[in-house]
Amino acid sequence: MKLKKNPRANVGRNSSLYFAVGLNVMLLLTYLGLEHKTYETPTTKVDILMLTEQLEEDIPITTINVPPPPPPPKTVVSEAITVVEDVAEVEETFVESSEIGQDDIIEERVASVDDVEVEEVEEYIEVPFAVIEKVPQFPGCEGSNVELKACFQQKMQEHLQKHFRYPDAAAELNIQGRVFVYFLIDKYGNVSKIQTRGPNKLLETEAERIIGLLPKMEPGKQRNKPVGVPYSIPINFKLHQQ
Distance of CA 242 to the CA centre of its chain: 44
76, 164, 195, 225 from 231: Cα distances, Å: 95, 19, 11, 18
Mean pLDDT for 164-185 is 90
Mean pLDDT for 68-72 is 80
Query: What letter represents residue 203's amino acid?
Result: L
CA distance 157 to 111: 61
Render 57-69 in DSSP notation, one character per residue.
-PPPP----PPPP
pTM of the entire predicted model: 0.48
Residue 208: the pLDDT is 93
pLDDT category of residue 242 using cuts at 50, 70 and 90 = low
The alpha carbons of the chain give a radius of gyration, in whole angstroms, of: 59
